[in-house]
Amino acid sequence: MRGKTFITSCCLFVLMACGTAFAQQGKLRSGPYSGPVTPMVSPDNPAVGPFYSNLVQDTTATCAPGCLYSTQNGYFVLGPNNCFSPGATQWISYSFLAHKSGTVNTVQLAITDSGFCVAGSNQFTVAIYSDACTNTPGTQIGNAVVATVGAAPCALATANFSGAGVSLTAATRYWVVVTTSGLSTQIATTAVWWNANLAQAPYNLNDGNGWIAFPAASPGGFAVN
């Protein structure tokens, strides 16, 4: 994709200032979070278990070890009027395999304010899609819902799907799709979907020119309940 940059980690490039932008990889990476953190709130935990979750503590982590996701890197979720890279739009989707059949009640996501600048909005849109069998999302299932980004790690953003009419079938692959809209509550969102701990999966990115499939990498942290 064209004109994209990502942010490097200070520990990886000691000769460059942390937060320096590089035109590489075609996606906007966040680098490590360096601001104050908020306590982790336990994710939903239905008695029968979630449809899917990669939210797990990494006891080996030296930074924010209590988080159910990594604060060392993630990918930006951006509205076009974002404060980090104005004019850029970035949407993210990750696939998951449903562990049971039923109706989705909530989706919890490791998405927080980026902390790099003062964002003009703090919401985003979440939807569940079928799998297109091309390593990309297929068709939206039910309705999309709006969620609010967490203030900072280790918070989780919760999307309420109780009235969205999204039903899943066990052993079937689906996609959680996160986008922004032109609404005033989303157009300037500057958030990060933080990577999951100890996980690898393919993901997709959309900069307004269609979904592009990327190979396996650490996915964003999320749980579908």
The string of pLDDT tens digits covering residues 19-47 is 322 223 466 776 667 666 665 555 554 44
- Please give the Cα distance from 78 to 174 (Å, whole number): 23
3-class DSSP assignment, residue 129? strand
Q: What is the pLDDT of residues 115-153, one digit of tens each?
A: 999 999 999 999 999 999 999 999 999 999 999 999 999
C-alpha distance from residue 106 to each of 94, 97, 156, 225 (Å): 16, 16, 12, 5
Residue 125 is given by DSSP the state: E
Assign 199 a pLDDT band (cuts: 50, 70, 90): low
91-34-11 Cα angle (round to 5): 95
What pLDDT is stored for residue 21 in this prediction? 29
Sheet hosting strand 137-148, strand order edge to edge = 137-148, 123-131, 173-179, 91-97, 201-206, 211-217
Average pLDDT on 5-26 reads 30
pTM over 0.95: no
Among 182, 140, 133, residue whose Cα is nearest residue 161: 140
Buried b (16+ CB within 10 A) or exposed e, 45-64: eeeeebbbbbbeebeebeeb
3-class DSSP assignment, residue 186? coil
Q: Are 213 and 94 in contact (CB under 8 A)?
A: no
Q: Is the peptide bond before 154 cis (omega within 30 degrees of 0)?
A: yes
Q: How far is CA 188 from the centre of its chain?
A: 16
The top-scoring range by mean pLDDT among 15-19, 97-101, 198-202, 209-213 is 97-101
